[in-house]
């Protein structure tokens, strides 16, 4: 699998099954950043994963929406 870096910094690759994946990363302020994604789940498919477990030097808090 080969990853191509696009002009905007996004990454694109094609899986062995021929599915094209494009990944973009956006930095946002933590407070309230996930709210719009949660609201969007009423209108389209997706998922929101969140962890608020934190241990210094080992684990950090994170939120991911797809």
pLDDT digits (tens, 9 = 90+) for 24-61: 877 777 788 778 888 888 888 888 887 877 878 887 77
Q: How much is the pLDDT for 12?
A: 92
Instruction: At 14, give phi and psi (nearest 5°).
Output: -115, 130
Measure CA 54 to chain center.
Answer: 19
Q: Is the pLDDT of residue 65 over 80?
A: no
Instruction: Say whether pTM exceeds 0.75.
Output: no
Q: What is the DSSP letter of 59?
A: B
């Amino acid at each position: 699998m080969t990853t191509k870096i696009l002009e905007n910094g996004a990454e694109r690759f094609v899986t062995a099954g021929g599915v094209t994946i494009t990944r973009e990363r956006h930095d946002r302020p933590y407070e309230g950043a996930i709210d719009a994604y949660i609201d969007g789940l009423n209108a389209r498919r997706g998922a929101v994963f969140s962890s608020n477990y934190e241990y210094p030097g080992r684990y950090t808090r994170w939120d991911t929406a797809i």
